[in-house]
Amino acid sequence: MNYLHPLAPKRRGALVSALLLAGLVCFSGCSTINPASTLPQSNLRGYKSAYVVAHGGNSADMDAHMQEALISRGVSVRAGPESAKPSDVDFYVVYTDSWRWDLMMYLKDLNIQFYEAKTGAMIASGSFSNSFLHSFPNPGKKVSDVIATMYGEKPHD
């Protein structure tokens, strides 16, 4: 004779629900805005002009996102090739972006560095990393979020 406790079906349902939730957490896409580093003596808010070292080509949209994120912080921005860096800006912006394909292109990694124009010293850096179980982030939002952390602001996640 098989004796089942009257709560056995409820426990089984709770166990199935818990396993499904654990699976969703494990297999959901994760990405990280890494903590930015900014030199304590640098006053980013005091810098009012920047030059974005443009990549052009496939990264033209990223060039524009860099400029938009800085303009929204009151920075006057110019962009162009590294060989044409002007001497009359407060800082230079250099970045690397890597992309991967999974049904569509997605941003895998983004690294941004600010360099003081007069000394060439790095004054701030920030990055974004997408995980193996990735999401399909909005690249403009990720640029803005990384730059926000470089300015000591919270990302808009």
Q: What is the per-residue pLDDT for 130?
A: 79
Which helix (H) or strand (E) segment holds residue 12: the answer is helix 8-27
Report the pLDDT averaged over residues 122-132: 85
Output the pTM of the full model: 0.74
pLDDT tens readout for residues 88-125: 999 999 999 987 777 767 788 899 999 999 999 999 99
Sheet of 76-80: strand order equals 31-38, 122-130, 105-116, 91-101, 49-53, 76-80
Domains and CATH numbers, the chain: 29-150 (3.40.50)
- CA-to-CA distance for 74 and 48, rounded, in angstroms? 7
Give pLDDT tens digits for 52-64.
999 877 678 899 9
User: Cα(69)–Cα(142) distance, rounded to whole angstroms?
Assistant: 10
